Chains A and B, each alone.
Chain A
Amino acid sequence: MTDLAAPSRLRRPRRPVPRTGRAGVAVAAVVLAGAVAACLLAPVLWPLDQSAVELGAIRLAPSGEHPAGTDDLGRDVLHRSLYGLRISLLVGAIAALVATVIGGCVGAVAGTVGGWVDRALMRVVDTIAALPHLLLGIFVVAMLRPSLGAVILSIGLTHWLSTARIVRSELLSLRTRPFIDAAISGGASRARVLTRHLLPHVLPRLALATTLMVPHAVWHETALSFLGLGLPPHLASLGNMINDGQRSLLTGAWWASLTPGLVLIVVTLALATLTGRWRDRLDPRVRAELNL
């Protein structure tokens, strides 16, 4: 097969980034910083009892007291959306990290050891890539029983393939570069070459892959929740809230799904806008590999 993640070729000078683009990035950065700050400070400033309900105040339309209305069980939608974002970002970030660690390790072994180990590992990657990963994820959750850990694992275990491929091909291309040859002929040990010369080149790519995977992981959490296989259903996560709110849609309580939906879209958009600058510098094929 052709090598999918070919090393990026020499770039031509780009046209300057439009002014509006820069403003967009700034807005995205502010939105994201605000979201992260709100998530970090929420437990101190506005604590939430996850299991609290108020049956006397169900499906109240947005008002001064409840700016985003209340849901089917009389819970404040805005308050829960904030905590939902917290959980979803946490799940997304940890799952992306898990995927990056697994993919990084597999890719590093394949790329540095080479030979039959490389071929075998890449065959495994191809095989797993041939399976729909939503189904694989369902499988993992069904086995481990739905819980926070199971959802994180199921996303992490199914999303490391592209990272592995990227790291491997990056290492393969680095191995042919003169400064590595120089290091090896200079008597550097294999471990030293890996940690001092190869790792610094691969790390930025890895960090980028992790960041770019976060929105996708958040999306996966909502999909699993929709199928009833996600986080514990009374926990305020964006997936659970959209799922619950969707039930109220036909009864006229559109606000129950609007706020969590908007929060999900706005934050993923902000993430995408921020990472878009880096993303544009990638080779299109690598980009596609990352499922962007």
Chain B
Amino acid sequence: MGKPLSARVTALAVATALAVAGCSSATSPAGTNAGGTFVVATGGEPETLNPVLNYGVDGGSLIFDGLVARDGRNQLVPALARELPVVSADGRTVTARLRDGVRFHDGAALTAQDVVFTYQAVLDPKVDSTLRSDLDMLTSVTAPDPSTVVFTLKYAYAPFLQRLTLGIVPAKAFAGQDVNRAEFNRKPVGTGPYRVTSWVPGDRLVLAANEKYWGGKPANSGVVVAFVADDNVRAQRMRAGEFDAAELAPKLAAGFDGQPGHRVHRVPTADYRGVMLPMGNPVLGDPAIRRALNAAVDRQAMVTGVLGGAGEPAFGPVPPSSDFAEPSIAGKPAADLATAAAVLDAAGWRPGPDGVRVKDGRPAAFTLMYPATDSLRKELALAVTADAKKAGITVTPEGLTWDAITPRMKTDALVMGYGTPYDPDFVSYKLFGSALAGQGFFNPGRYVSPVVDKALQDGRDNADPATRKAAYATFQKQLATDLPWVFLTYLQHTYVVRDAVVGVTPRVEPHEHDVANSLWWNIDTWTRTS
């Protein structure tokens, strides 16, 4: 044998080299970072560093401060506001008094005008900000004196203070400029613990400590955020010792478990994944099918098999870590095929000759869409497909792009995910209320429940914590009965951190996290053991 054999040997050698390199656990000599600079790596690169255009909206932005911030338990604490802003009795006026002596990185003093400018920019239709949708209760922002800001609302909005984490930008920097295209968006000036030294898109963001930070000088001299889009490459570079901390996919992070010199953090989140079941689908419109699916899915297997253990079963849109979570809605983590079969039998879905259940000549079958580029949602979709098959329901998974998915959301099921830990109103009001049903991603399955509508409205209108808790308990119970979604899992965001790093304080994270709001939200207090 001539050419083919030698070529195959070459191929085999390359493949073996790949395999050996993959198994080997050798860590290269870790490069020590000079001058107390921390290097963190993430896949999510912000497109702009301007809070008005959606950078670090929920705080932890490293460069900016909001009027308020969140502590390690996600409780609101005053930041640029001297104390938590005061809400009037009718809930429609909110007054914030600014902290004295706060300066921007360029030395200019922070005034109420800067706060007014920031919020007005968000509301300005000419500014391409998607935050406007979150602040649609806001009528006006005024500054009666240089250290006071008054927000006037269209209607009482209980969690309004939670919206005040938005980073404040200096009005002066935008004088006579188009906010969308200002130089500021790449070279921002804030009040936060770090100032921007340079940003090479696609490569890194270099931050230097703000020695005059109002909250105290940072414990280290700077931070470099490396942007590495590919999961594997990020893991390989972490292993090569280039980073102090990196966000990794759960399975890749698991590879660092028990490795000397590294520690894996599995951070609880409010980031859920579930299957949205549209009411307009002839099969899914039947509550029995939805209940059977809810019983048939093996959430525990998804957590261990798909998430590599970095997650927990989900039964509703309010995470267990939230004060508003209703414990009674939790079901069994493992599949309960007996219940599924009983529900289907009772509703008249009889097993056909091929095992698929049939009712009135209609087979129990539906299409489950997932975004093609999201491998986690693909795997969850396939897991649901396999579980449903055991219950006699045929699921056809379809990987599509978003533009192909959106027009079909009212008739075909979809693996969706989102969630923030800050307030149950934030996502759920739009996602499960009937008022906005069918608009974009708002309640795409057109679920309508007067009970849920009223509970969501009560939660929004009332400031009293006990009333709100009761309202959201009603909401969660009703969802668990009607099952417009089958919730599958809450994710845990997984990070690998070097052992030498001191001061890592994980807090419950939202869906969106990149430079801002990740494990390194308090990196200004991180130090290193020598």
What is A's interface to B at a CB cutoff of 8 Å?
18, 20-21, 23-24, 27-28, 31, 51-56, 58, 72-74, 145-146, 228, 232-234, 244, 246-252, 254-255, 257-258, 261-262, 265-266, 269-270, 273
Q: Which residues of B contact A249 (CB under 8 A)?
A: 18-19, 22, 232
Which residue in A18, A145, A255, A261 is a CB contact (below 8 Å) of B403? A145
| B342 at the binding interface (Cβ < 8 Å) | no
**Pair A258/B251 contact, Cβ less than 8 Å:** no
Interface pair A72/B301, CB less than 8 Å apart = no
Which residues on the B side are within 8 Å of A31 (C-beta)? Answer: 4
Name the segment of B38-46, B322-330, B375-383, B449-457 touching the other chain: B375-383
Is B12 an interface position by the 8 A CB rule?
Answer: yes
Q: In the complex, are the beta carbons of B399 and A233 less than 8 A apart?
A: yes
Given contacts A228-B373, A262-B15, are A23 and B301 in contact (CB under 8 A)? no
B57 close to A (CB within 8 Å)? no
Output the nearest chain B residue to A258 by Cβ-Cβ distance: B15
> Roughly how many angstroms separate A47 CA and B306 CA in the complex, as a whole number?
25
The reply to whether A73 and B379 contact each other, CB–CB distance below 8 Å, is yes
Known A233-B375, A233-B378, A247-B231: A51·B386 in contact at CB below 8 Å: yes
Least CB distance, B378 to chain A, in whole angstroms: 5
With contacts A51-B385, A232-B399, A262-B11 taken as known, whether A252 is within 8 angstroms of B255 at the C-beta atoms is yes
Within 8 A of A (CB), among B382-407: 382-383, 385-386, 389, 395-401, 403-404
Contact B382 A73, beta carbon cutoff 8 Å: yes
Among B248-284, those with CB < 8 Å from A are: 249, 251-252, 254-255
From 7 to 49 in chain B, residues with beta carbon under 8 angstroms from any chain A beta carbon are 7-8, 11-12, 15, 18-19, 22-23
Instruction: Report whether A24 and B3 are in contact in the complex, using a CB–CB cutoff of 8 Å.
Output: yes
Please determine whether A51 and B3 come into contact, CB atoms closer than 8 angstroms.
no
Q: CA separation between A28 and B5, bound complex, in Å?
A: 10
Number of interface residues of B (CB under 8 A): 50
Is B439 part of the contact surface with A, judged by Cβ < 8 Å? Answer: no
From A55, A234, A261, A273, B397 is in contact (CB under 8 Å) with A234
- Using CB atoms, name the residue of chain A closest to B15: A258
- Chain B residues near A266 (CB, 8 Å)? 8, 11
| Interchain residue pairs with CB less than 8 A apart (30) | A18-B2, A21-B2, A23-B2, A24-B5, A51-B382, A51-B395, A52-B386, A53-B386, A54-B386, A55-B302, A55-B304, A55-B386, A56-B305, A58-B305, A73-B379, A73-B382, A233-B399, A234-B378, A247-B251, A248-B251, A249-B18, A250-B235, A250-B239, A251-B255, A254-B23, A258-B15, A262-B15, A269-B7, A269-B8, A269-B11
Distance from B421 Cβ to chain A, minimum over Cβ atoms (Å): 28
Nearest CB to that of A252 among chain B residues? B23
Given contacts A251-B251, A254-B23, A261-B15, whether A21 and B386 have CB atoms under 8 Å apart is no
Q: Assuming the A-B contacts A27-B4, A273-B3, are A247 and B401 also in contact, with contact meaning beta carbons closer than 8 angstroms in the complex? A: no
| Residues in chain A near residue B23, CB distance under 8 A | 252, 254
- Across-interface contacts of A54 in B (CB, < 8 A): 386
CA distance A73 to B382 in the complex (A): 9
Whether the Cβ atoms of A55 and B298 lie closer than 8 Å is yes
Nearest-neighbour CB distance to chain B for A142, whole angstroms, equals 8
Q: Which residues of the other chain, B, contact A28 by a CB distance below 8 angstroms?
A: 4
Whether B236 is near chain A, meaning CB under 8 Å from some CB there, is yes
Residue of B nearest to A58 (CB): B305
- A234/B399 in contact, CB under 8 A: yes
CA distance A244 to B251 in the complex (A): 12
Whether the Cβ atoms of A55 and B372 lie closer than 8 Å is no
Please report the C-alpha to C-alpha distance between residue A72 and residue B307 in the assembled complex, in whole angstroms: 10
Q: For the complex, give the distance between the alpha carbons of A87 and B254 in Å.
A: 33
In the complex, chain B residues whose CB is within 8 Å of the CB of A265: 8, 11
B175 adjacent to chain A (CB < 8 Å): no
A145 and B22 contacting across the interface, CB-CB below 8 Å: no
A280 CB to nearest B CB, Å: 12
How far is the CB of A186 from the nearest CB of chain B, in Å? 48
Asked if B466 is an interface residue, CB under 8 A from chain A, the answer is no
- Nearest residue (CB) in B for A255 is B19
With CB as the reference atom, state the residue of chain A lying closest to B238. Answer: A250
- A252 vs B252: C-alpha distance when bound (angstroms): 10
Known: A146-B372, A249-B22, A273-B3. A55 touches B305 (CB 8 A): yes
On whether A250 and B15 interact (CB within 8 A), knowing A24-B4, A51-B385, A55-B306, the answer reads no
Cβ contact within 8 Å between B372 and A233: yes
| Bound form: Cα–Cα A126–B229 in Å | 35
Complex CA distance for A58 and B251, rounded to whole angstroms: 12
Which residues from chain B contact A74 at a C-beta distance below 8 Å? 305
Residues of chain A within 8 A (CB-CB) of B12 are 262
> In the bound complex, how far is the Cα of B307 from the Cα of A73, in angstroms?
11
Chain B positions within 8 Å of A20 at CB level = 1-3
Residues of B within 8 Å of A244, CB to CB, are 375
A235 to chain B minimum Cβ distance, whole angstroms, is 8
Residue of A nearest to B303 (CB): A55
CA gap between A288 and B523 in the complex, in Å: 56
| Chain B residue at minimal CB-CB distance from A273 | B4
User: Chain B contacts of A255 at CB under 8 A?
Assistant: 19
Residue in A closest to B236 when the chains form the complex, CB atoms: A250
**Cα distance, A262 to B16, chains bound together (Å):** 11
Listed from nearest, the 9 A-B pairs whose CB atoms lie closest are A55-B305, A20-B2, A254-B19, A249-B22, A55-B301, A228-B373, A232-B399, A24-B2, A265-B11
Q: Which residues of the partner chain A approach B403 to less than 8 Å between Cβ atoms?
A: 145
A contact residues around B251 at 8 Å (CB) = 72, 247-248, 251
A-B contact sample (16 more), CB < 8 A, given A146-B399, A258-B18, A266-B8: A20-B2, A21-B2, A23-B1, A51-B386, A51-B396, A55-B305, A55-B306, A145-B400, A233-B372, A234-B382, A234-B399, A244-B375, A249-B232, A250-B255, A251-B255, A255-B19
Query: Taking the nearest CB of chain A, how far is it from the CB of B365, in angstroms?
Result: 13
In angstroms, Cα B4 to Cα A18, docked, is: 14
Cβ contact within 8 Å between B379 and A252? no
- A24 CB → nearest B CB, Å: 4
B386 touches A250 (CB 8 A): no
CA A56 to CA B334, docked complex, whole Å: 13
Please, which residues of chain A bring their CB within 8 A of the CB of B1? 20, 23-24, 27
Chain B residue numbers with a CB within 8 Å of A246 are 232
Q: How far is the CA of A254 from the CA of B12 in the complex (A)?
A: 13
The CB with the most chain A CB atoms within 10 A, among B3, B231, B375, B403, is that of: B3
B372-A232 in contact (CB<8A): yes
Within 8 A of A (CB), among B430-479: none
Give the distance in Å from the alpha carbon of A58 to the alpha carbon of B302 in the complex. Answer: 11
Tell me, in angstroms, the Cα distance from A270 to B239 when the chains sit together.
Answer: 38
**Complexed CA–CA distance, A261 and B373 (Å):** 21
A269: chain B residues at CB < 8 Å are 4, 7-8, 11
Cβ proximity bits B209-252 to A, threshold 8 Å, 1 near / 0 not: 00000000000000000000001100110010000000001011
